Amino acid sequence: MNCEVCQLKELDIEHFEIREVLRCILHTVLFHRALGLVRPKDIDLELFEITYVQCGDVELERKIDEKIDQFIDRVEKHPNKKNQICLSFYEVKNKQATWFTNKVERLYWEQWYINLNVAQHPKGISGKSYSSKVVVDPGAESRSARRAALETSLRDVLFQIIRFVNEKKDHIPPIPNLEGVSFPYEITISSSSDSAFGMDMLKRMLQTGHPTMLS
């Protein structure tokens, strides 16, 4: 069984845009993977002229907001790093309840990587600037231009998701008889310092089918 991986286009966003951008992307992906009965809910972004769709699942919204909060905390703790959110869908294989381990085997069949470069606030500027994402507060015009560029990029990301969903359909397991989000999923956060290593490890683990060590 192959695991389809989609690396979404990198986005340069500011701190206050994190929540909206992440909500938009995560919900769009999940809407395409919630193949049970859904009541779609249109959500208009406040910062951009984009409307995305939610499943209408309250529990899902709560979980996503939790993860976004975690991401924001991480970004504040680890500035100047490329941050990544991984949304993974897996199948629960046999529950191996043994004496030593009670782990549930997960077989990941799809992963989405959301790559974000969060610009730092002026007061949060540190000496390390190799990532060069410092916001110098350029002015209203450039800010609006940047916002427009980000909106275009975000739209590109959404279309990227749609194309991926269209092109890759065969790897999806049979739809469980559930309502709403039909497949188990998880959302993980990683930073640039350890993301590369983490991704490699993850891929190896997925291919072998061992349970992951991701939080």
Partner 1 sequence: MASYHGNPHSEPAKMEQIITEFFAKSLHIILESRSPYVSSRNYSGEQVLSSPSPSPSSSSSSSSSFRPRDKWFNLALRDCPAALENIDFWRQSNLEPMIVDVILVQTPLNFSPKRGPARNSSSGKDRHFYGSDTDEFGSEAKSEKIIERWILQYESKKSAGGGSSTSSSSGSSSKRSGNTSSHALYKKSILLLRSLYATIRLLPAYKLFRDLISSAQIRLYNLGHRVSSFVEPFTRREEADMQKFVFTPVETSCGRLCLSVLYRSSVLDLSSEPSTPISPQFIQEYVGSPMAEPLKRFPSGPISQSSPSSSSPFGRRHSWSYDIYRESPSSANPSPSPTYSEAPIHRLPPSSLPRHLHDDTSSVVAHVKNPSYDEYWPSPMFSPSPSPSPPTNVTGVSHMPKAILRYSSMPSLPNKQPRFDQLTVPKEVVAHSGLHHRLFTLSKDEPGNMLGVKPSSNSSLSFQDDSEFSGAFVLDDEDDTTDPGSRQGSFDLACGPHTSFPVKKSQDAAVGALVHMLKKATPLHQEISVVHHMQEDTTATTSSNLALSKTTADAFEELRLYREMKDSLLKQGKKNIPQA
Contact yes or no for 19/120 (Cβ under 8 A): no
Which of residues 95, 171, 204, 210 is near partner 1 by CB under 8 A? 171
The dihedral built from the CA positions of residue 44, 50, 55 and 61, taken in this order, carries a sign that is negative
Contact yes or no for 187/86 (Cβ under 8 A): yes
Task: Give the range of 13-21, 65-73, 132-140, 151-159 binding partner 1 by CB under 8 A.
Answer: 151-159
Task: Give the range of 58-66, 70-78, 156-164, 190-198 binding partner 1 by CB under 8 A.
Answer: 156-164
Least gap, CB of 155 to partner 1 (angstroms): 6
Q: Quick check: 89 binds partner 1 (CB under 8 A)?
A: no
Long-range (24+ apart) CB contacts under 8 A made by 152-155 are: 153/9, 153/11, 153/12, 154/11, 154/21, 154/24, 154/25, 154/48, 154/50, 155/50
Q: Quick check: 49 binds partner 1 (CB under 8 A)?
A: yes
CA dist., res. 81 & res. 69, Å (int): 17
Q: Quick check: 37 binds partner 1 (CB under 8 A)?
A: yes
Q: Quick check: 137 binds partner 1 (CB under 8 A)?
A: no
Task: Give the range of 10-18, 83-91, 96-104, 170-178 binding partner 1 by CB under 8 A.
Answer: 170-178
**Residues ≥6 apart with Cβ < 8 Å to 64:** 22, 23, 26, 27, 30, 187
CA dist., res. 58 & res. 178, Å (int): 15
Coil vs helix vs strand at 35? coil
Task: Give the range of 83-91, 116-124, 131-139, 177-185 binding partner 1 by CB under 8 A.
Answer: 177-185
Which of residues 15, 32, 63, 146 is near partner 1 by CB under 8 A? 32
Task: Give the range of 24-32, 77-85, 111-119, 187-195 binding partner 1 by CB under 8 A.
Answer: 24-32
| Tokens of residue 42, six digits | 């249109």
The smaller minimum CB distance to partner 1, of residues 146 and 155, is found at 155
Q: If you write DSSP's letter for every residue of 115-137 in order, what string do you get?
A: EEEEEBPGGG--S--TT--B---
Q: Quick check: 179 binds partner 1 (CB under 8 A)?
A: yes
The smaller minimum CB distance to partner 1, of residues 121 and 147, is found at 147
Task: Name the residues that contact partner 1, by CB under 8 A.
Answer: 2, 28, 31-32, 35-40, 42, 49-53, 155, 158-159, 162, 165-172, 174-175, 177-179
